[in-house]
Structure 1
């Protein structure tokens, strides 16, 4: 079995759905009549991606919105605070039918503002510290001077001067940070704040311990004070964060309000489960496209649905060292109380689970199904890893730093972006500063690095011509009259797919 592809070449100057540019998009594409899972794995590791049977690669240094392939290292993944909220929300809904108010999310997998800014808070605090200290010193000076004038006490004047001098010394440090912790006490307005002339309040627990100690001392006055010291409590061990699976598959009561079931169905017209659910799945797709993407009904037909999400060039494979479900294209159907409410379209490949698309019932958007399905797919990747150890990554498609709506994928950490020039994976944290400065950039910081998988010998590229398989070098010799641009197109194809794929895949020539 071999992959058979028909290269379509460069397509440039067409509409971009990310930035709404009328003619800014550029990509190269090919039609895949059939494709092995290993070939597709190698292609997506060179920046390719499929939509139905059409496999395309953005021209990164030309297109208006460069699309970087992104993968999550699922084995090290830890859910963020917003991810945990989504999982708790789902469990509450399933257990008691509770619907959280104000939790509807239009954008799939959109992180909360809390998670989006958490990583920047330390830097913001550091930069603002000097400014805050100066403002604090000014306000305290004014406050103390007002108190001095009002009370007219000499001791207060001395304290005021002493405090102002200490603030001046802090400002002279010039580092923006105090050299040690500074306890600052302001004089509260009458009726507001704590009374600083009185000792601070003690916790009730401490007061109870003190009373018990004094009672024991009265009962046995002969013993020294040391005998009644409270025993030191053992230091608590740091709590282990709950895993994704523990948060996701929390126990539900027997009388739970709802039942959610996730079924993995192969994309195949011969599969009975796929066939029986196709009508319901299509109706859900139409509802989603019209409500969420505002598509007109004529663009949501059965032909578009089948070509986009129910047709795949991937040939199913079930090798002995692979996962139980095998490799290929699948639908993950989310059944709630006997009804499909979401479908995640995925490809299971030798090293990863690749997310293709998600559509869901807009009536259940309060469950944040975009986020929930992504977390389920990460958990599913980890499950497959136990059956096939080499399969450990979750590919999320393209990360588009210049498009705010597509930056949510970067919040599934740890994750990597694919360098568009050397095709090596680079941790996303190292890429973000460069992407902030330029839409397109070489992510690999090693100037000496090159594309190790590049095409070195195009003549060894395999061609399918008149039902015969032959190297491109031989094909050229047989062709006395070549079409204009024939060789340029073949060389472009070879450079984009790399040497290994060009020798395995069959390039159809008519």
Structure 2
């Protein structure tokens, strides 16, 4: 998710580029006219950040991200940028600098084809279903009772454990090592006896284990099995999930309603009283994305959407997502704090995973769910590691590494890890002379641009741009004036 700091930054950049907008629009018009082809056009901004961190609220002396402004951006190119640690906030593209920021941010993704529900996630789904079917709500008296029971148990166990600690410490050395290991061996011995019985009966152990795993898998409930269909005869509440294209008339018809919900969420949850319609539009409504997918036979187009959750006709949550060639990228969520008891953050994430699973049926290559950034030191972000199996992006090789391995490295070496895959080769970059530029309505390589008599290079960011963006810099247009 995007921090409030980036929200302010994006708004400021929007105001700064108001005058540039007309010039960029002309460049975009030129691109469209040329063989009716639309181009990805970006303008490099450079280092940004500093000030107060949006996660730990500490003061940051150094720039914390590198930014670009996107006039237009194809879904394919944005997918490539995501895989180099670059995300968008409105039309502002940014890449966190792990070496500088106090709260290192790592791109995290989930393969929805391998997703397995945890016990806690099943509980969230059941709570929602109980509410929809039976209007079951949290019982404050029950909460208090449960708290008192837990408190008494904790007090008893503390008193008991304090008196036992010394006994254990005094007696531990008197217990033979073999006896201490005995408890750990019991499970292994039981397993070994079971294997021996199978051998005596001529049963193939490997095959028996495979069959058992398949049976357990068949009994495992899928995410889709928890998403129930509304029945007016038996349900107390009706939940509707609507997918709205940000460029559609339906989006503009619901704009005010969505903004009011966002305003309530920001003021209540984040205590941000400076919300306004323009800021909301820049942050969550404006999108530079366009679809460059070949063929129009798919049921829905790739691009930017708002997933709106209506409860009994009332908007209670909105998930802002980008549907890309290889993934669904979750950008932001805001919800009605009155329904916090439904754990809407987790519930909507599960619905987005289910949605990605449906998309994968039509587009098999689209089977990843990107959850933004994982921040190990931020307690509010740690919930993302509960969606498994997930991967984190190595910031040097831009290869994906299993989350479990990354967590082990962070626990051992600290959370600032610039290479989760230290043995992998460094990621490919774009040669600076091959960077594709847009200059005075002409498309040309940087090498040719340097030889133009009316162009004088005064900037020093080209190598940095080529390194950050990578091979896709050969295809996108870097706006130069």
| Bin for the TM-score computed over the shorter chain | 0.7 to 0.9
Query: In 1, are the aligned partners of 2:60 and 2:101 still within 8 Å (CA)?
Result: no
Do 1:431 and 1:443's aligned partners in 2 also have CA atoms closer than 8 Å? Answer: no
Identify the residue that residue 3 of structure 1 maps to in structure 2: 40
**Residue in structure 1 matched with residue 70 of structure 2 by the alignment:** 32
Please show how residues 255-334 of structure 1 align to structure 2 within 5 Å. Answer: 255-268=234-247, 271-296=248-273, 299-317=274-292, 319-320=294-295, 323-334=298-309
Give the corresponding residue for 1:13: 50
Match of 2:456 among 466, 469, 482: 482
Equivalent residues in 2 for 1:186-265, closer than 5 Å: 238=216, 240-249=219-228, 254-265=233-244
- Cα shift at 1:481: 6.4
Instruction: Looking at secondary structure, tell me which structure has more helix per residue.
Output: 2
Gaps of 5+ in 1: 104-130, 140-166, 183-234
> For the residues of structure 1 that align with 2:356 and 2:366, how far apart are their CA atoms?
7
Residues 89 and 100 in structure 1, CA contact (< 8 A), matched pair in contact too: no
Give the counterpart of 2:434 among 453, 460, 463.
460
5+ residue gaps, structure 2? 1-37, 142-163, 188-211
Which residue of structure 2 aligns with residue 73 of structure 1?
111
TM-score (norm 1): 0.72
From the superposition, tell whether residues 78 and 448 of structure 1 become closer, same or farther in structure 2 (CA, over 3 Å). closer
Structure 1 residue 323: Cα displacement: 4.4
Counterpart contact for 1:260–1:334, Cα < 8 Å: yes
Q: Distance in 2 between matches of 1:482 and 1:280?
A: 50
Structure 1 vs Structure 2 CA RMSD:
2.7
Residue in 2 aligned with 1:350?
325
Q: CA offsets, 1:398-446, max 9 Å, x none?
A: 0011222211111100000000000000000010121122222134434
Q: 1:132-185: per-residue Cα shift (whole Å, max 9, x none)?
A: 99829949xxxxxxxxxxxxxxxxxxxxxxxxxxx95x5243865547559xxx
Displacement of 1:279: 1.3
- Residue 449 of structure 1 deviates from its aligned partner by 1.9
C-alpha change, 1:335 and 1:395, in structure 2 (3 Å) is same
**Contact kept in structure 1, 2:449 and 2:455, CA below 8 Å:** no
Matched, 1:364 2:339: yes
Partner Cα distance (1:372, 1:178) in 2: 40
Query: Aligned partners of 1:358 and 1:489: how far apart in 2?
Result: 34
Q: CA deviation at 1:286?
A: 0.5
Determine whether 1:440 maps to 2:392: no
Conservation of the 8 A alpha-carbon contact between 2:99 and 2:418:
no
Query: Equivalents in 2 of 1:459, 1:292: separation in Å?
Result: 48
C-alpha distance in 1 between matches for 2:255 and 2:422: 49
Structure 2 vs 1, CA of residues 251 and 315 (structure 1 numbering), >3 Å: closer, same or farther? closer
Distance 2:392 2:402 in 1: 6
8 Å CA contact 2:75, 2:290 repeated in 1: yes
- CA deviations 1:112-132 (Å, max 9, x no partner) are xxxxxxxxxxxxxxxxxxx99
Which protein shows a greater Rg? Answer: 1
Whole-Å separation in 1 of the counterparts to 2:179 and 2:443: 74
